[in-house]
Amino acid sequence: MDALQTIGFKPTTDAFENPTEDEIILLWQSFRSAGLSDKEAWDAIVAGIALDMAFSRSETLPRIEH
């Protein structure tokens, strides 16, 4: 894919749009292994989901590729 195609590329789905139960559990385990308590890890996941819902991406906003 050349640079112009990369700029115009818009994925049809977001990888984090619909996390599975397994992905959430793996994220929780990752937070736990980083030193968070059970409750802190769960609160971080819930806060992330809430922020994602509150500030959901608009289809009219451009996506920036890193």
Residue 64 CA to residue 10 CA, distance in Å, equals: 10
pLDDT tens by residue, 9-22 = 555 555 556 788 99
pTM over 0.75: no
pLDDT tens by residue, 12-64 = 555 556 788 999 999 999 999 999 999 999 999 999 888 888 887 655 566 66
CB atoms within 10 A of CB 55: 8
Distances (CA, A) of 11 to 14, 34, 43, 50: 7, 31, 29, 23
